Structure 1
């Protein structure tokens, strides 16, 4: 697995009828594939997030949609950025991601994090708990999911979860890549060093050099070569000249890059890739779905990640 250039689709508010919504999602995935993106990712949320829109704006369930995208694409890897661990029992999650791998012929990545959006938990009846409890659950879940993805039959009895010789068949591959997502240096980075193939760092661009220093420390603590843990960063891109509105909060965050395709590529090279991040996952929330935007940014960024 390698995520060098990924497209995250963060919103489905396209101002079109519901019947046209998923065709627009498919069109984005296909455009990304044609433009040389290696991965397409959806958010694992049930409500739209603050900074992107109101809670009742359209939001598709991620794994149902990814299963459909598996049939609409041929080459791109498919993932969430990232699965909220609190939304599914870990054995169900293992079965879900393994099924996605089967139906996509080996293109699934398990993106996972501790979960954080309290409103979803509160209104939909998921147990939110404390910050500490959510990370306890995540570590227990990883001790169940990882062996199940490898075809092992874990028996586990923890504070939050239990299994008894859990079976997970069929499997397309003996290893499905695992990506952790987040910014937490004490817990997320430690879990990534111990369990993951890839860490997606969600942090302001200016903080990336320091984040990489901490990640190297976390790898050293367990004697892991940091070169074996790939990294990427999630960026919001706003392209000039495509009529993008400016009322989305994410467009004003420290993770946003704007300008012409060439200016965006230059800034990403200098401030992200040249400091040691391996790949880029970008989203385009201010553009909704505007044909050719994905193609333009792909043309500008591919030479950087292919080098």
Structure 2
């Protein structure tokens, strides 16, 4: 699927009215496309994550929004990062992502994970279950979704799902990519080794070598060549032509989450910023090179949580990072 550089839209708290929201989303997607990003991603949540904003901040339903972006863009790949498996029947999800692929002319990617945010499940009436339940459901769902994306008609009578010769037409191709997202070395990585074309890893940067070693082990367990499974790292960027403004954006963002970097200890600062990259373009590039790309990861998907909605910031990010991932 070749996503070396992706742009993930997760924060819509800047929106003052609903009418202002989607034109800005389209503008960001088009800016990412023209700036050389390989993919645009939307998170699949009903509520905002507490690590990013207030629970009642505006959040888009991902597949409706991705369908709209399919008609507003021309070349960039489109995906959720990642679809919560608990939210949709797997056969319906296969149909939805295949329809997105048709609408976009073959640019859809199925990003999928087990689901993790309990409040939105409880308040929307979805069963949350235990950690083990959710991964059992994901594994079973992938046994239905994968053949449906490949033009097969699966019959599965499982613990969680039941389908009978499920048909999935129309499709524009039999190799729609599957991307798993997560950090679990046993369950997520094992499912990625079995089913995925791409694994997006979200963890503290210092853990990347261990994560990649674990992925190598999961691939070896089923006889898969690790080099056939693309990887990317999910990074949180605070970037601006002015490094001082970027640092202020980071400071203010964390202050709203209850962390004051001006008073934090070294340990507290390291914990709060372990997945963040901050500064002027050359500073951010150096940080991502040493902390991520030099660890043998294939690509980067970035969240511009503070200022991605500002015209020119996505373009600045693409101009800064494209040479790194192409090197």
CA deviation map 1:3-47 (0-9, x unaligned): 100000001112422111000000000111111111000000010
Equivalent pairs, count: 307
Would you say the 8 A contact 2:139–2:191 is kept in 1? yes
Question: Equivalent residue for 1:51?
Answer: 51
CA deviation map 1:235-292 (0-9, x unaligned): 0001133562634348934111101111111111111111110000001111251111
Would you say the 8 A contact 1:238–1:286 is kept in 2? yes
Would you say the 8 A contact 1:4–1:232 is kept in 2? yes
Would you say the 8 A contact 2:202–2:234 is kept in 1? yes
Gaps of 5+ in 1: none
Which secondary structure state, in structure 2, belongs to the residue aligned with residue 238 of structure 1?
Answer: strand
Correspondence 1:115 to 2:120? no
Question: Equivalent residue for 1:244?
Answer: 249
- C-alpha separation between the residues in 2 aligned to 1:288 and 1:36? 15
- C-alpha separation between the residues in 1 aligned to 2:162 and 2:253? 41
Which secondary structure state, in structure 1, belongs to the residue aligned with residue 302 of structure 2?
Answer: strand
Question: Equivalent residue for 1:168?
Answer: 168
Question: Equivalent residue for 1:82?
Answer: 82
Give the superposition deviation at 1:121.
0.5
Correspondence 1:207 to 2:207? yes
- C-alpha separation between the residues in 2 aligned to 1:160 and 1:203? 29
**TM-score in terms of structure 1 length:** 0.97
Give the superposition deviation at 1:197.
0.3
- C-alpha separation between the residues in 2 aligned to 1:5 and 1:175? 21
Question: Equivalent residue for 1:63?
Answer: 63
Correspondence 1:259 to 2:264? no
Which secondary structure state, in structure 1, belongs to the residue aligned with residue 12 of structure 2?
Answer: coil
CA deviation map 1:28-75 (0-9, x unaligned): 001111111110000000101111111111001000000000111111
- C-alpha separation between the residues in 2 aligned to 1:135 and 1:298? 35
Matches within 5 A, 1:91-240: 91-239=91-239, 240=243
Give the superposition deviation at 1:300.
1.0
- C-alpha separation between the residues in 1 aligned to 2:273 and 2:103? 36
Which secondary structure state, in structure 1, belongs to the residue aligned with residue 199 of structure 2?
Answer: strand
Question: Equivalent residue for 1:278?
Answer: 298
CA deviation map 1:195-236 (0-9, x unaligned): 000000010000001100110011000110000000001000
